[in-house]
Amino acid sequence: MQEIVDEELLTDIVESDETEEERQARVDTEVVLDELSREFVDDITTKILILVDEISGHPLRPYQTPIARRIIESLIIGDGATITALISRQAGKSELVANVTAACMILLPRLAVMFPDLLGKFKEGVWVGAFAPVDEQADNLYGRIVSRLTSDAALAFMSDPEIGEEVIGRGKELRLKNCGSLVRKTTCHPRAKIEGRTYHLILVDECQGADEKVINKSVAPMGASTNATMVFTGTPTYTKGVFYKTIQINKRAGTKRGARQDHYEADWKTVAKYNSNYKKFVSKEILRIGQESDEFKLSYRLIWLLDRGMFTTAEKLDTLGDKSMQMQHAWMKSPVIVGIDPARKIDSTIVTVTWVGWDYPDQFGRFEHRVLSWLDLTGIEWEEQYFRIVEYLSNFHVFAIGVDQGGVGDTVISRLRVLMPGVEVVGVPSDRGAQSKRWRYLMDLMRDGKIGWPAHAKTRALRVWRKFRQQMEDAEIRYEGPNVIVEAPDETGAHDDFVDSLAICVSISEQFAVAEVESSENMFYAA
CA R_g for the chain: 27
pLDDT digits (tens, 9 = 90+) for 222-261: 999 999 999 999 999 987 789 998 999 999 888 887 789 9
- Identical topology for domains 31-267 and 314-510: no
pTM of the model: 0.66
Range 478-506 burial, b when 16+ CB lie within 10 A, else e = eeeeebbebbbbeeebbbbbbbbbbbbbb
Output the pLDDT for position 314: 82
Distance between CA atoms of 223 and 200, rounded to whole angstroms?
6
pLDDT (tens digit, 9 = 90+) per residue, 329-380? 999 999 999 999 998 765 689 999 999 999 888 888 889 999 999 999 988 8
For the segment 380-404, what is each residue's pLDDT rounded down to a tens digit? 888 889 999 999 999 999 999 999 9
Q: Summarize pLDDT for 142-162 with one digit per residue, the tens.
A: 999 999 999 999 999 999 998
114, exposed or middle or buried, with CB in 10 Å at 0-12, 13-18, 19+? Answer: exposed
336, 399 Cβ separation under 8 angstroms: yes
User: How many CB atoms are located within 10 Å of the residue 326 CB?
Assistant: 22
* Topology (CATH) of 31-267: Rossmann fold (3.40.50)
Asked whether the beta carbons of 357 and 507 are under 8 A apart, the reply is: no
> 36 in helix, strand or coil?
helix
Task: Output the pLDDT for position 315.
Answer: 83
Q: Rounded to an integer, what distance in angstroms lies between the CA atom of residue 331 and that of residue 391?
A: 14
The domain locations on the chain are: 31-267, 268-301, 314-510
Helix (H, G, I), strand (E, B) or coil at 176: strand
- Could you tell me how many residues make up the chain? 527
pLDDT digits (tens, 9 = 90+) for 9-19: 333 433 444 56
Residue-level pLDDT at 233? 97
Q: What is the mean pLDDT of residues 265-283?
A: 97
Per-residue pLDDT tens for 58-93? 899 999 999 999 999 999 999 999 999 999 999 999
- pLDDT for the residue 491: 67
Give the CATH class of 314-510: alpha beta
pLDDT in tens, 288-333: 999 999 999 999 999 998 755 788 888 899 999 999 999 999 999 9
User: What was the pLDDT predicted at 269?
Assistant: 96
pLDDT of residue 26: 65
**What distance in Å separates the CA atoms of residue 156 and residue 175, rounded to the nearest whole number?**
17
